[in-house]
Structure 1
């Protein structure tokens, strides 16, 4: 795509932003940080490095990268970190407090990512004048990329992920995105790498370990004696956790629960809805299935075997996994992307998941081949898998040790990115 065509495309893009901005001011999620998003009350300080992390998850990845960075000069390395969300901003504030407190040659400044209106982005890039911009995961903003090109700022896209759907959207205007392509792309898998290569050219793409593995600590199973839920779960009854189940899969999850309680009637089943405000939906479901149930908030002692406990207390899923004999991880019986099956695994429980877990595809299908997790094609297969685990549960310490090794073997992403940053800065 020629320069004039890119300029025309960006002009149209800018007009769309100008029309949208007055309306965006009424969006409750965007009011926070509005002056920074619009640069209406000042601008950030100049920086050597600009790291863009879209939201909370990416902000944690930025934190990991910051831990590995060193200044290549005798002075401090000035880093601007930006994000689009309140959660991301709060995470970046904590990261800056930690990194700046170390006094190890980094000076980190958090800021909200400006709206991608081309004139705003040109102003931002001219003010910050970074030597390098780093995008984490999939933040392909035309205004930002164009501003970096105009300013002569190389762009590194790291921990890159791209879905087939996203690729299809970008390919609606391939010439524009190819003209604005990042200088280097570090994708987290060969599949993601091929998609980035299709859009931007394969010669720009490298493969790297996913930084999310770096974020995972060396978790170990919690001893029963120190588990805060130990008095609620009888030691001799099988305890099965349905973790983070979603309303869209309620029909199949209730059939799974009914089948489980029919075949292993002495089981205690802890059902953890992903969203607490749907508790009444789950109550009606278990009542309709003829199952005995109680609310977790009503328990004053061990739950009776044969009971479904509807978990209406926050923050207790991980301790529950620490007592579980078996676990089904929700968000996976319907095309919802799945929930975190690494939580039960690092607690020493082999997780069973449905077929829909694309949100955690970064973990790799090797986790299934190794037997560390089980994928079921539907609720019936999930039932068979849970019963098999209940009848012969593997030793908790062995599962946790194998999970720890799996994670350790896949670390190194943050260090790989920091080395690329150093190469660019030098």
Structure 2
């Protein structure tokens, strides 16, 4: 009855979903009106861009257990994810024998659509990355006898509470195996699906960071924007919900270090007007990145309205604050500046990156500030120390190296499944 009601909800909602600009991309694949993908041994689901990169790591380590190629259908829900999976497929199909990768948009979870998709694909294994618990998908796999592996799994207390409103349904649809990234996540999955199904694994995200290193200034695309001897501080991925705190932090830092160039990178570019208003209210001198045809002037806040330049900016910064963390938003990736050789400062709200481990703060590789004032003090201290970038990056690589192995662990579990007979 629950699945029938769920399917009815999808049928009512689907005509309206086409009005969503993000869902219009790949509509024919989402609704199966543009045909169906080829059959595959494995159906791997990677929700969005972040999970797509994890899928890429798994695919790089995956080997065919057959004399023929191992066929893998990799699906995603977003345009960014699809573009990433397409690059992964082009990379692996072109250089690695034994694998045939096909990217596709994840269909809407209408049980009828999912049943049709599974019957076409005929996968032997469904591999779900992180927490993609779609009832229509899981039900279709269960009905067709497809084994389900959920890997790199994470589950918050809030998510668990939501699933436990209908525990019988999710117990019936549970994956055959769950590989969780921490003991805490494992306990939550065990509460929902049964502890006997849960294993603990290293987070694949550490595998992704393994080759990260400081970028040589001569190769940095921003070298002409940030003068070599300037003091440059980055506020990365700041969110509108923390605008008041970030504005105080920016004003305080510029007051203490008036010759600093401050690069402020909004997490969402369409909120740029919020930051323009905020800088005006604080009386700060600012400009847009797009207006810079030469070096930024000392004492300027640069509102970064260009995509794809945050990591190069970290590569030139002496100090960095990572946003999404002064309000209860879960935080943003503070490993990025660290692997560029910059000690990152983050606020107290970083639960989305709890997988990194508190050891990173206890070791001094990163700084956890409790509010904007302590964040300011930490940034000033880092600027005063002028620490060696190569040394910081080396310590970061050592920290990451000790925590790698997630992709290989997943591939071993996949190999064990195909070799079990």
Corresponding residue number in structure 2 for 1:355: 348
Closer/same/farther in 2, CA of residues 286 and 126 from structure 1, 3 Å limit: closer
- Is residue 371 of structure 2 the alignment partner of residue 409 of structure 1? no
The answer to which of 382-391 and 143-152 deviates more is 143-152
Corresponding residue number in structure 1 for 2:131: 138
TM-score by length of 1: 0.92
2:208 equivalent among 206, 215, 223:
215
Q: How far off is 1:410 after superposition?
A: 1.4
Corresponding residue number in structure 2 for 1:263: 256
Report the 3-state secondary structure (helix = DSSP H, G, I; strand = E; otherwise coil) of the residue aligned with 2:63.
coil
The C-alpha deviation readout for 1:1-40, integer Å capped at 9, x for no partner, is xxxxxxx222222222222233334333333333332333
- 1:331 and 1:338 in contact (8 A); partners too: yes
Q: Give the CA RMSD over aligned residues.
A: 2.1
Closer/same/farther in 2, CA of residues 305 and 163 from structure 1, 3 Å limit: same
Closer/same/farther in 2, CA of residues 141 and 262 from structure 1, 3 Å limit: same
The C-alpha deviation readout for 1:253-309, integer Å capped at 9, x for no partner, is 111122112223333322223333433432332332233334444545544433333
CA distance in 1, matches of 2:70, 2:297: 59
CA distance in 1, matches of 2:217, 2:202: 34
The answer to which of 327-336 and 288-297 deviates more is 288-297
The C-alpha deviation readout for 1:82-116, integer Å capped at 9, x for no partner, is 22222222222222222222351112222222222
Q: How far off is 1:45 after superposition?
A: 2.3
Corresponding residue number in structure 2 for 1:159: 152
CA distance in 2, matches of 1:381, 1:262: 15
Closer/same/farther in 2, CA of residues 222 and 72 from structure 1, 3 Å limit: closer
Corresponding residue number in structure 1 for 2:87: 94
1:85 equivalent among 69, 78, 90:
78
CA distance in 1, matches of 2:236, 2:42: 40
Corresponding residue number in structure 1 for 2:316: 323
CA distance in 1, matches of 2:159, 2:336: 28
CA distance in 1, matches of 2:357, 2:265: 25
CA distance in 2, matches of 1:41, 1:291: 52
Closer/same/farther in 2, CA of residues 282 and 12 from structure 1, 3 Å limit: closer
Q: How far off is 1:349 after superposition?
A: 0.7
Q: How far off is 1:58 after superposition?
A: 1.5
Q: After superposition, where does 1:197-212 map in structure 2 within 5 Å?
A: 197-212=190-205
TM-score by length of 2: 0.93
Corresponding residue number in structure 1 for 2:376: 383
CA distance in 1, matches of 2:13, 2:305: 40
Report the 3-state secondary structure (helix = DSSP H, G, I; strand = E; otherwise coil) of the residue aligned with 2:100.
strand
- Is residue 112 of structure 2 the alignment partner of residue 119 of structure 1? yes
- Is residue 22 of structure 2 the alignment partner of residue 29 of structure 1? yes
The answer to which of 104-113 and 183-192 deviates more is 104-113
- 1:326 and 1:393 in contact (8 A); partners too: no
Corresponding residue number in structure 1 for 2:7: 14
Report the 3-state secondary structure (helix = DSSP H, G, I; strand = E; otherwise coil) of the residue aligned with 2:12.
helix
The answer to which of 143-152 and 373-382 deviates more is 143-152
CA distance in 2, matches of 1:380, 1:83: 40
The C-alpha deviation readout for 1:182-237, integer Å capped at 9, x for no partner, is 11000111111111011001111001111112122422222334433334434444
Closer/same/farther in 2, CA of residues 310 and 146 from structure 1, 3 Å limit: closer
Q: Which runs of 5+ in 1 are unaligned?
A: 1-7
Closer/same/farther in 2, CA of residues 355 and 41 from structure 1, 3 Å limit: same
Corresponding residue number in structure 2 for 1:69: 62
Report the 3-state secondary structure (helix = DSSP H, G, I; strand = E; otherwise coil) of the residue aligned with 1:281.
helix
The answer to which of 51-60 and 272-281 deviates more is 272-281
Corresponding residue number in structure 1 for 2:233: 240
- The number of aligned residues is 419
Q: How far off is 1:245 after superposition?
A: 1.9
- Is residue 363 of structure 2 the alignment partner of residue 370 of structure 1? yes
- 2:210 and 2:400 in contact (8 A); partners too: no
- 1:332 and 1:353 in contact (8 A); partners too: yes
Report the 3-state secondary structure (helix = DSSP H, G, I; strand = E; otherwise coil) of the residue aligned with 1:80.
strand
The answer to which of 180-189 and 304-313 deviates more is 304-313
